[in-house]
């Protein structure tokens, strides 16, 4: 009996020892697996951090490129607007040059027209035939000059018996005129002229007080 009991105790001790050994080995294996999982997790974290840093850097570069692109686009649009304005100014200047290209010639012709007008104001009744014929020639030349001025859109400033306008007329004197309101042009001493919508020469006038 005692020997059987001892054998049973020995078997139980061996089984217990084997169970403890197995459990220890399993725990060690689990710990190794945990260590592997932890290591893999750390590696994944490091990889994720690297990817995050890379993505953040790329996003920053993209934002910087967007800003530079916006700046370049704004500069381009500004340059386009400046060029359009420059082109418009040049076109306007060219149009004005063409529009008023005859101004200098017209201005030089006006004194000649003035002299012809003074000559044809002479009284034909006090002239002999030769002078009268000569005056007729003057009148013909004067008519041609006036037609030439009209052709190039040079027109006389119509101001007689109208309200004085300092933009187109220059008052050389004021006079009392019965039945005329103050500020009315009562006499034109020298005609004024316009080339299209631009004044070549102001009219010299007398104005009622």
Comparing C-alpha atoms, which of 206, 157, 158 is closest to residue 182?
A: 206
Highest mean pLDDT among 3-12, 21-30, 82-91, 163-172: 163-172
Query: Mean pLDDT across the stretch 68-75?
Result: 88
169 within 8 A of 190, measured Cβ to Cβ = no
What's the pLDDT tens digit per position in 108-126? 889 989 988 888 876 655 6
pLDDT of residue 127: 61
Token pair 């044809």 is found at: 120
CB burial of 37-73 (b: ≥16 within 10 Å; e: otherwise) equals eeeeeeeeeeeeeeeeeeeeeeeeeeeeeeeeeeeee
Query: What would the pLDDT profile of 15-51 be if each residue is shown by its tens digit?
Result: 666 666 666 566 655 555 545 555 555 556 666 666 6
Which pair of structure tokens corresponds to residue 101? 């290209």
Give the mean pLDDT of the chain: 79
Contact 169, 183 (CB under 8 A): no
Compute φ and ψ for 187, nearest 5 degrees.
-155, 140
Cβ-based neighbours of 174, under 8 Å, separated by 6 or more: 206, 207, 208, 209
Q: Kindly tell me if the per-residue pLDDT of 166 is higher than 90.
A: yes
Please provide residue 201's backbone torsions phi and psi, each rounded to the nearest 5 degrees.
-150, 135
Please tell me the pTM assigned to this model.
0.55
Give 149 or 15, the one with higher predicted confidence. Answer: 149
- Structure tokens given for 120: 């044809």
């Amino acid at each position: 009996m005692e020997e059987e009991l001892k054998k049973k105790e020995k078997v139980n001790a061996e089984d217990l020892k084997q169970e403890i050994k197995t459990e220890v080995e399993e725990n060690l294996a689990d710990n190794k697996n945990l260590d592997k999982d932890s290591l893999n997790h750390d590696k994944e974290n490091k990889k994720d951090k690297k990817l995050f840093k890379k993505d953040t850097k790329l996003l920053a570069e993209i934002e910087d490129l967007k800003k530079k692109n916006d700046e370049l686009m704004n500069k381009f649009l500004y340059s386009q607007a400046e060029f359009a304005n420059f082109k418009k100014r040049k076109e306007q200047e060219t149009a004005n040059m063409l529009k008023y290209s005859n101004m200098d010639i017209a201005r030089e012709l006006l004194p000649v027209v003035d002299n012809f007008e003074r000559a044809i104001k002479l009284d034909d009744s006090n002239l002999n035939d030769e002078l009268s014929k000569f005056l007729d020639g003057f009148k013909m030349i004067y008519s041609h000059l006036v037609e030439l001025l009209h052709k190039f859109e040079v027109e006389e400033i119509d101001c007689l018996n109208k309200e004085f306008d300092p933009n187109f007329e220059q008052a050389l004197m004021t006079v009392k005129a019965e039945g005329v309101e103050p500020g009315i042009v009562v006499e034109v001493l020298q005609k004024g002229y316009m080339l299209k919508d631009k004044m070549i020469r102001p009219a010299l006038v007398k104005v009622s007080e």
